Amino acid sequence: MGLPSKQPSESAGKLSKSEINDLPVRKWEGCINLIDSDEQMVNAVMPLQNEHVIGFDVETRPAFKKGVSYRPSLVQLAGTGYVNIFQLTRLSHYTALIDLLSNPHILKVGVGLANDAQNLQSVFAFQPNKLLDLSDVTRRVGIESYGLRSLSAHFLGFRISKRAQCSNWDNKELRPFQISYAATDAWVSREIYLAMHQQGLLSAAIAPQTLPPL
């Protein structure tokens, strides 16, 4: 589900909070697959192995006390026309996910990926491969937008809701608004990448000959 991209402003300046709030809200409304068993995980990873570019995000239960932290609860991976959400707390064997995230031929795109990958190491050991942090691209080309919300406003011309960000992602049964939020973050990461690709911005971060096809 592609969207026409919004061209960066001539000044490439950061959009103000009020400018972003004036934009329409969008969310992913297509196919969402919630994976909560090892058997489902294997089947869900298979189509992702055929993708060139995957939107990648992680959700972790928030900690409100000093010194308390939690392991990641979800991994969200967006392909062409679908988003797969893996409930890590309900899985026990991660081989399929490890193979995917370590695959050197599939680009995984998102924001804060170094931190996400490090946190995932507390759940399963893997060697992250072919990760692209979208905020690194904007820093290199001088665009003052770094977070997922501001990046979607800048490149796609809409904003995404963050109201579910601090909800309990460890819930065995996720609520509809949580599922929508989690899917949207992965989907919009992929859409931002595609917009950057169309605007010729990625050569600052990736050698042109290694860019995967759209």
14-46 confidence digits (pLDDT tens) = 778 889 889 999 999 999 999 999 999 999 999
Of residues 115 and 212, the one with the higher pLDDT is 115
Q: How many CB atoms lie within 10 A of CB 65?
A: 6
2 is a domain residue: no
pLDDT cut 90: percent of the chain above it: 72
Give the pLDDT confidence score for residue 147 in this predicted structure: 92
Cα gap 135→113, rounded to integer Å: 10
186 is a domain residue: yes
| Average pLDDT of the chain to the nearest whole number | 89
Give the pLDDT confidence score for residue 209 in this predicted structure: 62
- The CATH number linked to 195 is 3.30.420.10
Cα gap 128→114, rounded to integer Å: 9
11 is a domain residue: no
Per the structure, the count of domains in the chain is 1
Going by pLDDT thresholds of 50, 70 and 90, the confidence category of residue 87 is very high
**Which range marks the domain in which residue 197 is found?**
17-206
Encoded amino acid at 90, one letter: R
Beta-strand ranges (E) seen in 61-170 are 72-79, 82-87, 107-110, 131-133
6 is a domain residue: no
7 is a domain residue: no
Find the mean pLDDT for residues 191-207.
88
> Among all chains, which residue has been given the structure tokens 């609520």?
175
Q: From edge to edge, which strands make up the β-sheet containing 82-87?
A: 31-35, 82-87, 72-79, 53-60, 107-110, 131-133
112 is a domain residue: yes
10 is a domain residue: no
Report which of 213, 194, 211, 206 is spatially closest to residue 6, judged by C-alpha positions. 194
Whether 134 has a pLDDT exceeding 70, the answer reads yes
pTM over 0.85: yes
Give the pLDDT confidence score for residue 2 in this predicted structure: 44
Going by pLDDT thresholds of 50, 70 and 90, the confidence category of residue 7 is very low
143 is a domain residue: yes
